[in-house]
Amino acid sequence: MQTHISTTPFGRRPMTLGQMASQVTAKSIPEGATVEKWKVFRSIREARDLLGATDRSLAILNALLSFHRESELSGDGTLVVWPSNEQLMARANGMPPTTLRRHLAVLVDCGLIIRRDSPNGKRFARKGRGGEIEQAYGFDLSPIVARAEEFEQLAEAVQAEKKAFKVSKERLTLLRRDVVKMIDAGIEEGVPGNWGRIGQIYQEIIARLPRTAPRQVVESLCDELQELWTEVHEILELFTKTQNMDANESQSERHIQNSKPNSIFESEHGSEKKNEAGGNAQENDNLRSLPKRELPLGIVLDACPDLMDLAQGGRIRHWSDFLAAVEVARPMLGVSPSAWREACEAMGEVQAAITLAAILQRSDQINSAGGYLRSLTDKAREGHFSTWPMVMALLRTKLDADKAAATTDREPPNGNKGGEGQYKVSEALLKSLNKPRS
């Protein structure tokens, strides 16, 4: 006897296009498809947020699966179960009837089950003479078989997202710990650095971290903390290598200090040029021994604080801000566009900008900034110039000034014994900086 398969729900429940889509999906079960029902259920449970399911609706789905006697769901078998509401409530740990009906609707809306309602809305099965089920009215589990592969992929995506989020949180924790402890170490050891500015940047980054942040926000903050970590780490690393660069620093400081009294560049376009740093063998060896990586931005700003006055808002957080401030300083120093262009070609834009910032810092001792920049540009082309000794010389001048101020004023006003803004350096660095100059 031929029977009709119901496609619409009983009573006042409306038919939706979503329910029709679920029925179309259920018909697409590959021939001979078989899935292990509890394995698929675990995938559905893992991907419940993506599917729109709830914890209670999954408790009902678990009960519905338990009414299917086989451990496997097969497209060739009967996939309709017909438990009464009382039986479902019992297997769902005593769920109230209203809650049961609401979460059954959730399972239908998620496309996990299909209603196969009888003419009177009752759930039952009609068997033939041989005991075989001819017609069943209840809940059709065929979408679980048809979408088993989809559920597995969604579960894997959720697991991957959870892993990525966990890694991001671990990275955030490690970066926060590293930055805080490196800042503390720099202050305790008296490492030259604008630790107040660094600490403020750290606090601004952490202040944007909400209590419950999505992975994208965490990763974005991690990237910013990574930049700050790099800057602080390079400051500390550079501090430990300062004594190895003593000879270069002394040589560069003498070179800059001697540029004012009898400057050979009275005019930027002067016809007479003298190669002051033609360089002997020892100088060339010293230059080759310098680190090959870039100077940290924090060290450059500590050596050239005057540039901060020309920065927009009085703050320089990135190299782009640094370059913008140098563009303001260039015409003020009287450096022509051609001299600046040649310096950028010979040294690179960042190194040329550091050089100009150092010239600005010593502008009261240099008669012609443009001519001096051209001289350094010529030396850079020949491989006889590096910004490291120049910056180190400026830092040592600052340290010497702080030391002299501390000596003449042992007890500053307001009980500030250390002197606000002064550097405290280790004995090893002082010994290195105070070596007699050749």
Query: What CATH number is attached to the domain comprising 108?
Result: 1.10.10
Domain presence at residue 65: yes
Residue showing tokens 């519905």:
64
Question: What integer pLDDT is reported at residue 315 of this predicted model?
Answer: 84
Question: What integer pLDDT is reported at residue 11 of this predicted model?
Answer: 54
Tokens found for residue 42: 């675990």
Task: Report d(CA 110, CA 99) in Å as an integer.
Answer: 17
The reply to whether 320 and 340 lie within a common domain is yes
Question: What integer pLDDT is reported at residue 281 of this predicted model?
Answer: 42
Domain presence at residue 254: yes
Question: Which of 239, 266, 286 is the last residue in one of the domains?
Answer: 239
Structure letter (DSSP) for residue 13 = P
**Alpha helix segments (H runs only) across 190-336:** 195-207, 215-240, 246-257, 281-288, 297-303, 319-333
Q: Coil, strand or helix: which one is 181?
A: helix
The reply to whether 180 and 254 lie within a common domain is no
* Amino acid letter, residue 403: K
Strand partners, 36: 72
CA dihedral of residues 285, 289, 293, 298 (deg, nearest 10):
-100
Q: Which residues contact 184 (CB under 8 A, 6 or more apart)?
A: none
User: Would you say the pTM of this structure is higher than 0.95?
Assistant: no
Question: What integer pLDDT is reported at residue 286 of this predicted model?
Answer: 44
The reply to whether 273 and 208 lie within a common domain is no
The reply to whether 324 and 223 lie within a common domain is no
* Amino acid letter, residue 340: W
The list of the chain residues with pLDDT below 70 reads: 1-28, 77, 130-131, 242-293, 406-438
Question: What integer pLDDT is reported at residue 19 of this predicted model?
Answer: 62
* Burial of 422: CB neighbours in 10 Å, binned 0-12, 13-18, 19+: middle
Domain presence at residue 426: yes
Residue showing tokens 């008296």:
190
Task: Report d(CA 33, CA 29) in Å as an integer.
Answer: 7
Task: Report d(CA 419, CA 208) in Å as an integer.
Answer: 33
The reply to whether 99 and 230 lie within a common domain is no
The reply to whether 235 and 274 lie within a common domain is no
**Long-range contacts: 12-19, Cβ < 8 Å, 24+?**
13/105, 13/115, 16/109, 18/109, 18/111, 19/108, 19/114, 19/115
The reply to whether 366 and 253 lie within a common domain is yes
The reply to whether 116 and 201 lie within a common domain is no
- Please choose, from the candidates 296, 323, 325, the residue with its C-alpha nearest in 3D space to the C-alpha of residue 194: 296
Residue showing tokens 């450059």:
300
Question: What integer pLDDT is reported at residue 259 of this predicted model?
Answer: 44
The reply to whether 420 and 343 lie within a common domain is yes
The reply to whether 227 and 251 lie within a common domain is no
Question: Which of 192, 216, 239 is the last residue in one of the domains?
Answer: 239
Domain presence at residue 26: yes
Structural domain tally of the chain?
A: 3
Question: What integer pLDDT is reported at residue 302 of this predicted model?
Answer: 87
Domain presence at residue 8: no
40 in Cβ contact with 144 (< 8 Å): yes
Strand partners, 125: 136
155, containing H or E segment: helix 148-188
| Percent residues over pLDDT 90 in the chain | 23
124 in Cβ contact with 69 (< 8 Å): no
pLDDT in tens, 421-431: 444 444 544 55
353 in Cβ contact with 322 (< 8 Å): yes
Domain presence at residue 153: no
**Long-range contacts: 265-274, Cβ < 8 Å, 24+?**
265/367, 265/368, 265/370, 265/371, 265/372, 265/374, 265/375, 266/367, 266/368, 266/371, 267/368, 267/371, 268/334, 268/335, 268/336, 268/339, 268/368, 268/370, 268/371, 268/374, 270/371, 273/375, 273/378
The reply to whether 422 and 277 lie within a common domain is yes
Domain presence at residue 438: no
The reply to whether 121 and 235 lie within a common domain is no
298 in Cβ contact with 200 (< 8 Å): no
CA atoms within 13 A on the CB side of 218: 19
Domain residues for the domain of 390 are 241-433
Domain presence at residue 386: yes
